[in-house]
Structure 1
C-alpha cells in the first residue's frame, strides 16, 4: 500500500514542526547541564516518582505499543490485552518490590553491571553484547514506523523518511542524554493520549457501541480467557497455559525486570522509594493503554475487511488508517504528532539504553578503564551516532515482518527469557555459581535461536504462540543448565554476595509513611484492579 494516505494541511504541518522544534530545544537547553557521567547516563539520580513513572511507561509506549498493539488488536482481538494485564502488571510490581532494591541500593549503572557483581565478568560481557544487539534491532522498529508515517504523510520514499527520523532523534538524545529523553518522554506521554484518545470514542460511536462492534468480529476477539482452553478456538492459536507460562511469566518478567531500557528510568529516581514506586506507579496507567491502542485495532478489523490479507493494507497500518478516516485538518496534525512522538520515545529509549551499556559495560570495561567523565560522555555521544546508523539498517528488518509486535516478541524470546532465568536464580538461590550463570545464559540464547530456525511458526499455531512457547523453553534451558553447572562449580562466599541476593540484603521499611507512598500498598491496589478487569473481560 504505497499511496499517500494523509492529505495534511498547513495547520497540520505547523503542529508537527512545532513539536520537532520543541523536542530539539529541550536537548539544547540541557546540553550544558551534562557535566558528569551520572548526569548524562542516569540523570544525576534526581528525578521524582511521577516523572520517572511516566517516563518508564512512555519509554515502552513506542512503535511497539501503537502500531504493533493496534496491529495485533486487528489480527488477534482483545487477546492482545494480555500483553498489558498478565503480561505486564505482575512483572512491573515484582520489579518495584523485589528487584529495584538490588539495582538501586548497589548504585550500579546498568543491568550487566549487576551480573558482573553477582556472577562474573564473562556473564556481564555476554549480556552486554546480547542487549546491545537487541536494542539496536528494536530501535529499528521505531525508525521503520516513523519512516512509514512520513511515507504515507508526505509521499517520501521509505529511505528518506527513515533518514530524516534518525537525524531528529540523534540531535535531541545526543545533546541532553537520558535527561533529555526522560523529559521528552513525559511530554510524549501526554501528546500520545491527547492525540489518539478521540479514535476509540469516534470508532465505537460509528459502529454502534462495544456490543455492536463485537457482533461483527469472531467470537474470540471479545474475550481474554473464555476461548483459551482450546488453541483452535482463538485467533492467536494459544492456550491459557501458553499465555500464563510464556507471556505472563517468562516474557513479561524477562522484559520488565531485566531490560535496561525500562529499568534505567528507575535508576534516575531521587531515592530508593521513588525508584521502587516508579514501575508500580506506571501500572495504573499501563492498564488503561489497551483502550488507546487495542480498541482501535478491533475497530479497524471491522471497518477494513481486507486488512492483513493479500493485496490489502498491512496490519501495521490499522492506526494510521483510522487517523486518516476520522481526523479533520488540525486534529490530523495532532494525531500524526502523537504517533511520531511515540516512535521517537521508543527509539530514544533504546538508544539511551544502548549508549549506557556500550559506554560502561563494553568500552569502559574492556577498552579504556580510567578516563575522566568527559571522555565517557563523548564516547556516549559517539555511541548514539553509531547506534542510530546501525538502526537505519535494522529498520528494514522490522519492515520485513507482517507485524512489528511479532518481531519484537521474537527478539524478547531470544534475549530476555533466558536472562530472566539467570536473574531469578542469582537473586533467590545462593548456590548459583558464576559459571552456572554464564553457561545458563549462553545456552538459553542459543537454544531460542535454534528453536526459531528449526521449528516454523505454523507448528505452534501462530507467530505469537511460537514466541510464547519458545520463550518458556529458552527459560527452562537456561534454568536447567545454570543449576546443573552450579552443582559442579564453586559458589561465592556470603561476603561476596552481600547485598546481591535476597537472603543477604536489607529490606526497606516504609511503615512510617502514609499508605499512598508505600510500594506494598500501591502494589496491592494495582493487583485488585487487575483481577477486576480480567473478570470483566473474561
Structure 2
C-alpha cells in the first residue's frame, strides 16, 4: 500500500511537470528535441539519468551477482574514456554542423540515404529498449506487489505515455531529473544496510573480486578476458554507445551553447563513478545471502536485496525508487522514438511542407505506436537470461556498425555514401552471424557476456573494413578518388576551455585511481 501511494503521488507530479513544460512549445523542435534551450545542470542530470536508470540497475546488479566487481568495468573503463572523447571531439563536431540529431549529422556527411538508414536502425533499437523498460517495470511490480505481468505493462505504459504526449521532450528531461534524484535517494540506503548485514562475507579471490589481476589476456573458458573487456567493452561498445546514442547526444545538445554542451558528459561522468558504488557494492557484500536463494533470477537481484534489507518503513520507498527509474527509461525511449520518426523519417522523406502543429501531432501518434509495439517486445524479453545480454545484442546489431561508419567518415575524406551503406550492412550481418555462432556453440566462449564483447569487435571491424574497401583498393591501384562533401566535418573545432580540460583531467585521474584500488 505504501509503494502504491508513493508511486501514485509521483505519477501525479510527473503529469504536472508535463503540463508546465507544454507552455514552452512554440515549434515542433521544442516538442521533439528542445535543442539549445536548457540549463547545463538540467542537461547533465538528464544525460546521466538517461543512462543510469533502474533498467541499468536491474541489468548490472545481475551482472555484479554473476561476475562480481567485473561489473565496475561497465561504469569505469566502459564509460569514462568515451565520455571525455565525446566532450572534446564529438560534441564540437555535432554543434558546429548545426545538426539537431545523429541521423541529421549522418545526412550532412553522407547524404539522405545514410541518414534514413541510420534513423531506421535507431528507431528499431528504441522500440526494443521500450519493450525492455516495460518488461523491467512488470518484473519489479510482479516481484514486490504481486501485480500480473500484463497489467503492470498496461498501467505504467499509459502513465508514461500521458506525460510524453502532453509535455514532449522537455517534460521528459525535467521528469528525468526528478526520477533520477528520487531513485538515487531510494537506492542509497542499500550501501548502509548491506554493509551492516554483510551476510556470507566477501569473495576475495579470482575474477569475482579483482578487475584485472586474475583476468587472462585471451581465453575461451574464462568468464571474461582482457581483450574482450578492453577492446570489446572499453573500445567498441563504450565509444559506440556514448558517442552515437541518439538519446544521449540529444540531451547534450539541449545545453544552451558549445561550452555548456561540452561540460554535460563530463559532469555526468562524475555521477557515473558514484552510481557504480551504489549498484555494485551492495550486491558484492550480500552475495552469500543471494546465493542462499537458488531460484533468484539475475534481473531480480536488486529487488530481492531491497526486499531483504529494507524494513517495512523503507521498503515502499526502495521499490518506488526502482519504479521511478524504470519510468525514466521508458519515457526516454518513447520520446526518442517520437522524435526519430517525426524529425528524421516523416518530415524529411514523407511530408516536408506541413505545419508545426501537424508535426507535433505526428510525434504524439508515434509515441502511441511505440508503446503498442513495446508491449509485444516486453513479452518477448522474458525469454532472455539477463537484460544486459539483450541490450548488448541490440548494440551489436544496430549501434556499433554506424559508429564504425561515423569514425571512418571523420577520418577519411574518401568515404562515400555507397561505402557507408555497405559498411553498415556488413557490420549488422557480421554481428548477427557471430551472435548465432556463439548461441549455437559453433564458437567457444566462457560466458554470454564475453561472447557479446567479441561480437562487438567483429561487427565494428567488418563495418570499418568494408567502409574503407574502396579507398584501400584505390591506394593499391595508385588512383585518386574524388573527395565527397565533408562540410559537416569542419577541420578546426574551437579549443576547449580551461574548465573543460580540468574536468576531463580530474575525471580521468579518478577513473585510474578506482581501477587501481580494485586491481
**1:76 lines up with 2:83 in the alignment:** no
The within-5 A match list for 1:303-452 is 303-306=289-292, 309=294, 312-452=295-435
Deviation at 1:389, TM superposition (A): 0.9
1:64: how far off? 3.2
SS in 2 for 1:509: coil
Q: Which moved more, 1:41-50 or 1:165-174?
A: 41-50
Q: 1:303 to 1:492 in 2, by over 3 A?
A: farther
Confirm whether residue 171 of structure 1 aligns to residue 162 of structure 2.
yes
Residue 95 of structure 1 deviates from its aligned partner by 0.8
Cα 1:492–1:270, aligned 2, differ >3 Å: closer, same or farther? farther
1:258 aligns with 2:244: yes
SS of 2:502's partner is helix
Say if 2:188 is the partner of 1:201.
Answer: no
Cα shift at 1:457: 7.3
Corresponding residue number in structure 1 for 2:486: 497
Q: 1:285 aligns with which of 271, 274, 281?
A: 271
| TM-score, length basis structure 2 | 0.94
TM-score, structure 1 as length reference: 0.91
Q: Distance in 2 between matches of 1:230 and 1:122?
A: 41
Tell me if structure 1 keeps the 8 A contact 2:244–2:399: yes
Q: Distance in 2 between the 1:22 and 1:315 partners?
A: 32
What is the Cα deviation at residue 230 of structure 1? 5.6
Gaps of 5+ in 2: 475-479
387 and 488 in structure 1: CA distance in 2 versus 1, 3 angstrom threshold: farther
Structure 1 pair 37–486 and aligned structure 2 pair: CA distance change class (3 A): farther
Q: 2:135 aligns with which of 141, 144, 168?
A: 144
- Listed one character per residue, the Cα deviations across residues 394-413 of structure 1 (whole Å, up to 9, x for unaligned) are 11222211110111111111
The corresponding residue for 1:244 is 230
* Structure 1 residue 221 displacement after superposition: 1.2
For residues 163 and 319 of structure 1, the distance between their equivalents in structure 2, rounded to whole angstroms, comes to 23
**Conservation of the 8 A alpha-carbon contact between 2:420 and 2:467:** yes
Task: Give me the whole-angstrom Cα distance separating, in 1, the residues matched to 2:495 and 2:77.
Answer: 27
Structure 1's 532 and 233: CA in aligned 2 closer, same or farther, altered over 3 A? farther
Looking at structure 1, the residues matched to 436 and 496 of structure 2 have their Cα atoms a distance apart, in angstroms, of: 49
Secondary structure (helix, strand or coil) at the match of 1:45 reads coil
Query: Aligned match of 1:213 in 201, 214, 233?
Result: 201
| Distance in 2, Cα, partners of 1:207 & 1:152 | 23
Between the aligned partners of 1:155 and 1:372, the Cα distance in structure 2 is 46
SS at match of 1:220: coil
2:218 paired with 1:227? no
Q: CA deviation at 1:450?
A: 1.9
- Per the alignment, do residues 222 and 231 of structure 1 end up closer, same or farther by CA in structure 2, a change over 3 Å counting? farther
Taking structure 1 as reference, are residues 24 and 457 closer, same or farther at Cα in structure 2, changes over 3 Å only?
farther
2:139–2:149 contact (8 Å) kept in structure 1: yes
Q: 1:486 & 1:112 partners in 2: Cα distance?
A: 24
Q: Deviations over 1:31-56 (max 9, x none)?
A: 23222122112225211211111100
1:107 CA displacement: 2.2
2:451 matches 1:466: yes
Distance, in Å, in 2 between the alignment partners of 1:240 and 1:430 is 33
Decide whether the 8 Å contact of 1:51 with 1:186 is kept in 2. Answer: yes
Partner SS for 1:269: coil
Structure-1 separation of matches of 2:334 and 2:468: 34
CA contact (8 A) 1:16 1:334 kept: no
- Which of 166, 179, 203 in structure 2 is aligned with 1:188? 179
User: Structure 1 14/531 Cα, relative in aligned 2: closer, same or farther at 3 Å?
Assistant: same
Q: Distance in 2 between matches of 1:369 and 1:341?
A: 37
Q: How far off its partner does 1:306 sit?
A: 5.0
- RMSD between aligned residues: 2.0
Question: Hey, what's the Cα distance between the residues in 2 that align with 1:233 and 1:328?
Answer: 43
Tell me the alpha carbon deviations over residues 134-165 of structure 1, each in whole angstroms, 9 at most, x when there is no partner.
11101211111111122223322101111111
- Offset from partner CA, 1:381-436 (integer Å, 9 cap, x none): 11111111111111122221111011111111112221111111111222222211
* Among candidates 30, 38, 41, match of residue 29 of structure 2: 38
Conserved? CA contact 2:99–2:105, under 8 Å? yes
Structure 1: unaligned runs, 5 residues or longer:
1-9
Secondary structure, counterpart of 2:291 in structure 1: coil
Mapped to 1, the partners of 2:481 and 2:114 lie a distance apart of 15
